[in-house]
Amino acid sequence: MISHEIDYKIFGDDIQFVEIELDPNETVIAEAGTMVYMEQGITYDVKMGDGSEPNQSLSGKLLQAGSRILTGESLFLTHFTNRGNAKARVAFAAPYPGTIIPIDLKDVRNTLTVQKDGFLCAAYGTKLSVTLSKKLGAGLLGGEGFILQKVDGDGKVFIHAGGTVIERMLNNETLRIDTGCVVAFEPSLDFDIETAGSLKSMVFGGEGLFLATMRGTGRVWLQSMPIRKLIRALAPFGANRGKEASGLLGKFLQ
């Protein structure tokens, strides 16, 4: 299915949102609860599935929706369509502070692998599915990266990341990364989880027991502040400022 052509503009520096401009009858799909505002003429509908396969059976839709639960996302996706006669805009924001990454899937051979909670929104026609890491060790040892999202299509997709985003191009190289800092990567790269080094390094190095390893040729997008690091950094403040502050922190972390 050919994806809808959409225009966009990203606002903000540290806590960004993306504004999507839709022509009449154009649609953008988004994670539930991410919409900031929408102009007159835009309507929305909550659907089970991304709509990339219009003739998909009910069992297929249930399977796709069930796979989204594995990634920790909502059972449904929200479809925003411009039903008016003129251009109209709808905006989306990430669920936590960070950066929004716009990626044209035509530039990454029409497919991208994304961390399980990294998808924000995309042009209608984009297909979302679940993929498992080729290496069992990525799930059993690293605790992250075993269940990933696969995004296929020929339109624009928007990924959100914590903190600052770094894009690295590997040319038959190897890059070792904190397991939570991988946001997205081209499927041409081989992804695995390896031990961080010697026992002394793992226990006293402060970098965790395992590191993600990328090998091959392709692009990988990294985030400087994954949500788990943010939670870890804020936790002591909640514990030391009394029950009221702890309660507020708990609501923020939910």
The tens place of each residue's pLDDT in the chain, 254 residues long, gives: 688 889 999 999 878 999 999 999 999 999 988 999 999 999 999 987 777 766 655 555 555 555 555 555 566 889 999 999 999 999 999 888 889 999 999 999 999 999 888 999 999 999 988 876 655 554 544 445 567 889 999 999 999 999 889 999 999 999 998 878 999 999 899 988 776 655 454 454 445 567 888 999 999 999 988 776 666 666 676 655 554 444 544 544 44
* Pair of tokens at residue 205: 């190095």
153 contact partners, CB below 8 Å, separation of at least 6: 1, 3, 52, 105, 110, 122, 123, 125, 126, 127
In angstroms, the CA 183 to CA 71 distance is 14
Task: Tell how many helices (H) and how many strands (E) occur in the chain.
Answer: 5, 17
Give me the residue label for tokens 């991304």.
Answer: 50
The DSSP-derived string for 78-96 is EEEEE-SSS-EEEEEE-SS
What is the model's pTM?
Answer: 0.80
CATH architecture of 7-223: 4-Layer Sandwich (3.60)
Sequence ranges of the domains in the chain: 7-223
